[in-house]
Structure 1
Amino acid sequence: MRFRATVVSVQAFFRLIQSVGSLQKKCFIKFNETLMEAICNNETNEGGIQVWARIKIESLFDNYRIQSNANNQITMSLTCDALLGALKSASASTTSSTTFDAEEVVMKLAKKDDQALLSFEIPGQTRNGQRVRVTHDVKIEIMRPSEAEKMTEPLCPPAMAMIVMPDLEKVRTIVDRMRQIADTLIVQGSNNGKLVLAVKTDAVDLRTEWANCENVETDVALDPEEDPDPEKLHTIYVSAKSFYKFLTCHLVSTTTIVSICKNHCLIIYVYIGDTTDAGGVLTFYIPAIIEDDEL
């Protein structure tokens, strides 16, 4: 088993893992010949939120080499904080001085005392200005191919509405206020470009509405009894805390599409780069909370 790559976009790698790490402490990372996948699918994760990120290798790495007996695929489990620590060190070293413009951050598999490692060779310098290479090791667990194959994305019903979301940083500010009022966030969307976020208690009814958002065509075949009116608001209830955690990905997003799967979940696609030629996509699954009452 061999793996080695030059990290050409340390900051983008850091922000990606930061978005995944906001959900839970550990994640799985799959490398193959064309993609890197970062996965958070632990059902014990608070709120049940999952994320599956698929990033094109050329978006993050250069001089990329991978070899394994599992169709050149390597899957590992690691602690997000440990990986973020290594990437933070790499980012600081490559941006603190032009001295290292020609230096590279190299990521590779290694082993010390039978412990598998994801090792980062980072450019640095001594107090007297001498160039050095600093090694930052992240402990990992290599998963068996049979275990890796069991990890599959959730199966979901077709979306009733798919809407391009407003700027996530602005949405995050709004949801931060809402989650302090109620634990449950109400998300509504229509097929004529309307998106609503709301919270409701006995004392407070707070809602924010965006009109004229862009819609994405859905594949759903409506039941004959289903109202085909494009102005109809499709409603779902989710954990406000989980939705707020997802919004950490405002650091990497360019375009974000939210899909409302009635009585099941929200699926949120966060594109890195243009949707037609994205460098990667983070797919978030936020499970529905079944409520007896409706708006």
Structure 2
Amino acid sequence: MRFKTSIRNIQTFSKLTASLSSLGKVAWVRLDDLNVRFTIIPETGTQVWASLSIDSIFEDYTIQSNAENNAINLELPLPPLHRALKSAINASSASIRLTKRDGVPVLSLTIITNTISSGNTANGFLNGASQDPFGDNAFREQDLNAGREREAVVTQDIPVRVLTADSVEGIHEPRVREPDAHIILPSLIQLKAISDRFTKLASATSTGAIRSGGANNIPKLELSANMHGSLRLSISTDALNISSVWTGLTNPLLDPNQVNPDGEGLEDHPSTLLRERGPDAWSTVRIDGRDWGKVLSVGRLGGRVIACFADDHALILYVYLANYEDGTDESVLTYYISSFSA
């Protein structure tokens, strides 16, 4: 079993791990010849299934195993990986390899940073001379290596568990019925700011029940979309009822071949039926405001985000990241968020 690669875009990789680690501390990572997958399945809250093209974060990618497609499955703690990547932000290069330390499998992150060596510069000599022009140190021997570039190499090990193919065979993405509405979201940074504000207002104006942490008393945001380009975010408590509406958004067209393998039309699709009911027909989900704020942290990665609403059932987000070289949508992060009952 062998895995080694250079990190092409350290900043993007660091932002990705920061976003994922806010939702779960441990990820299932699948590496193979085709792509890199990160999966977060917490006991409660949002599930994440991220499928990244190799070129979006890696280069000089080498992998070898006895499994199909040279697949390697790992259980990876995300916070240590994110801390290691943060320390590599200003590095000139960084690489990762799967190895062992004292019999324990680790992902070994090697960071190379170019630094300017310290030494007595001419400016330092003159400053010293001006303070005591006739002292013993008025004339000093200069370091000829002063100011030369030096290479600093730091290696950090992140312990991992290597999983067998059989142990992950039964893991699959949640099955969700066809959505009633699908819409391209506005800026996630803007959406997160308003969502966090609504959640804080709800917590501040609610009784002690919310602060007690009961599952039925957490701040719940209501998110709705129609098939006429509108998105509505609202929250309601005994003390307040506020909402914010975006209009002029895009409802992307569905590919009939993806919805119906036989190529049949979309006349009876739930989103078509919702569109026919007009702009006052909405598909709505109710979600945990705090969890939703963590989901929206993926906005730091940029990209196009499509939200699919299965009314009163689930919200699925597809976050498309542009390919590093040709700008195609080859990398996608999929978020599954269950809806609270009305």
Superposition deviation, residue 263 in structure 1: 2.4
Q: Distance in 2 between matches of 1:60 and 1:225?
A: 40
Is residue 333 of structure 2 the alignment partner of residue 282 of structure 1? yes
Q: Distance in 1 between matches of 2:274 and 2:5?
A: 52
Task: Report matched runs for 1:33-182 at 5 Å.
Answer: 33-42=33-42, 44-45=43-44, 48-71=45-68, 72-94=70-92, 104-124=93-113, 130-182=150-202
Secondary structure of 1:156's counterpart equals: coil
Superposition deviation, residue 85 in structure 1: 1.4
Q: Give the 3 Å change call, closer, same or farther, for CA 40–17 of structure 1 in structure 2.
A: same
Q: Cα RMSD between the aligned structures?
A: 2.2
Deviations 1:125-168 (A, max 9, x none): 68655323221111111111111222210000001000000011
Is residue 279 of structure 2 the alignment partner of residue 228 of structure 1? no
Contact kept? 1:181, 1:199, Cα under 8 Å: no
Secondary structure of 1:180's counterpart equals: helix
Q: Distance in 1 between matches of 2:51 and 2:278?
A: 32
Q: Give the 3 Å change call, closer, same or farther, for CA 200–194 of structure 1 in structure 2.
A: same
* Counterpart residue type for residue 205 of structure 1: N
Superposition deviation, residue 227 in structure 1: 8.1
Q: Give the 3 Å change call, closer, same or farther, for CA 40–223 of structure 1 in structure 2.
A: closer
Match of 2:122 in 1: none
Query: TM-score scaled by structure 1?
Result: 0.89
Of the three residues 184, 201, 222, the one matched with 2:237 is 201
Larger Rg: 2
Deviations 1:103-136 (A, max 9, x none): x311100101111000011113686553232211
Deviates more, 1:225-234 or 1:258-267: 225-234
Q: Which runs of 5+ in 2 are unaligned?
A: 119-148, 203-218, 260-267
Secondary structure of 1:289's counterpart equals: coil
Q: Distance in 1 between matches of 2:283 and 2:38?
A: 30
Secondary structure of 1:91's counterpart equals: coil
Q: Distance in 2 between matches of 1:29 and 1:160?
A: 32
Contact kept? 1:242, 1:286, Cα under 8 Å: no
Secondary structure of 1:90's counterpart equals: coil
Match of 1:251 in 2: 300
* Counterpart residue type for residue 264 of structure 1: H
Q: Give the 3 Å change call, closer, same or farther, for CA 159–166 of structure 1 in structure 2.
A: same
Q: Distance in 2 between matches of 1:248 and 1:224?
A: 31
Percent identity between matched residues is 28
Which aligned segments of 4 or more residues in structure 1 are displaced greater than 4 angstroms? 125-129, 223-227
Q: Distance in 2 between matches of 1:223 and 1:253?
A: 26
Task: Report matched runs for 1:25-40 at 5 Å.
Answer: 25-40=25-40
Q: Distance in 2 between matches of 1:205 and 1:224?
A: 31
Match of 1:98 in 2: none
Superposition deviation, residue 52 in structure 1: 0.7
Query: Size of the alignment, in residue pairs?
Result: 279
Secondary structure of 1:235's counterpart equals: strand
Match of 1:100 in 2: none
Deviates more, 1:230-239 or 1:273-282: 273-282
Contact kept? 1:236, 1:263, Cα under 8 Å: yes
Superposition deviation, residue 281 in structure 1: 0.8
Q: Which runs of 5+ in 1 are unaligned?
A: 95-103
Contact kept? 2:230, 2:246, Cα under 8 Å: yes
Deviates more, 1:257-266 or 1:155-164: 257-266
